[in-house]
Structure 1
Amino acid sequence: MTLTPLQSITLEDFLKLPETDPAREYINGEIIQKPMPKGRHSRLQGKLCSVINEITESAQIAYAFPELRCTFGGRSIVPDVGVFRWENIPFTQAGEVPDDFFRPPDWTIEILSPEQKPNKEIGNILSCLSYGSQLGWFIDPDDLSILVFFPSQQPQLLQGNDLLPILEIIPLELTVSQVFSWLKMRSNS
């Protein structure tokens, strides 16, 4: 993660800049470059989106977006996974997904990569919660733990066979162990 050495830039000016890959975020007047996702990060991100969307999309319950820019509360962040209740997706008049989302996801998920600073990612989760998110996960692949956040509550550190909280409208049960089992794609034989 690197800070872009610009004088000072407004959120409005930041949003006019071209997108980059990996994405940049605007936090407290600074531009912060996200690191390029690596293998474990990409696997968990893709699998989470797939598992959630398999259950929610056809029933129009919710949708999990990978790397979707969300601009709200003076920030413009790109959660690793942003899950929006169907009724909170700001569809266009034609019923299409818009390019711009000006609200936090209902459920925000951050997956720690080796180059990331945990407090920056947790800060994004806390910001989402203060602006209306109902749930946040901070996934640490090295520790095999998931720190779970709810609005106005103490975070919970979950590991092993602990059942993970999911948005109540999503009929899905997952344990921490199940999530990390997705990292194994080959048998050891």
Structure 2
Amino acid sequence: MSATTTRPLTLEEFLKLPETKPASEYINGEIIPKPMPKGRHSRLQGKLCAVVNQVVELPKIAYAFPELRCSFGGRSIVPDVAIFNWGRIPFTVDEQVPDNFELPPDWTIEILSPEQKPNKVIGNILQCLKYGSRLGWFLDPDDLSILVFLPEQQPELLQGEDYLPVLKEVELTLTVNQVYGWLKMSG
């Protein structure tokens, strides 16, 4: 009787698989499905992209992409919001947005869903910082807090009227309360 062992998939093999809905991520040789976004998650994600892009898209400073696959450093992750400085977007020869981003975003934003493990999500932010991201936000809608990550610094827990750091080239002022205030849509 012989035991059959299956070797883990490589990143290259994972990237050849068909995309799933919701997306799956490739972390440490494992395929990990992301949970389907629910109401609060979807609202925060949409508003963050819209508010950031309103400030940065026209002057070609940056762009906020929702659910963009980023493959680098042996992982393939799908941040809830991935913000890239305009000059780092790997446009195609005909100046279109490419399908594949093989680099970390300048600013990564993750919104915790009830089914997710916080440390796994924070691990993705730390991976981004390790490979060159300049800012990470971790939103916890149940706690109404945002954990902010900057390279080579301790994370900072922000709440209430605390101002949120953004990339220095992005002219945007937001407090934690403003971000979570977007969840109130009636009235």
TM-score range, shorter chain: over 0.9
- 2:43 is aligned to 43
Q: Which amino acid aligns with 1:25?
A: E
The root-mean-square deviation of aligned C-alpha atoms, in Å, is 0.7
- TM-aligned CA deviation for residue 116 of structure 1: 0.4
Aligned-pair identity (%): 73
- TM-aligned CA deviation for residue 166 of structure 1: 0.3
Listed as ranges, the gaps of 5+ residues in structure 1 are 1-5
- 2:140 is aligned to 140
Deviations 1:55-88 (A, max 9, x none): 1000000000000000000000000000000001
- 1:181 is aligned to 181
Counterpart secondary structure, 2:12: helix
TM-score, normalising length: structure 1: 0.95
Larger radius of gyration: 2
Distance 2:96 2:131 in 1: 25
- 2:60 is aligned to 60
Counterpart secondary structure, 2:96: coil
Deviations 1:124-173 (A, max 9, x none): 00000000000000000000000000011000000000000000000000
TM-score, normalising length: structure 2: 0.96
**Across the two proteins, how many residue pairs are aligned to each other?**
182
- 1:21 is aligned to 21
- 1:105 is aligned to 105
- 2:128 is aligned to 128
- 1:162 is aligned to 162
Distance 2:65 2:128 in 1: 15
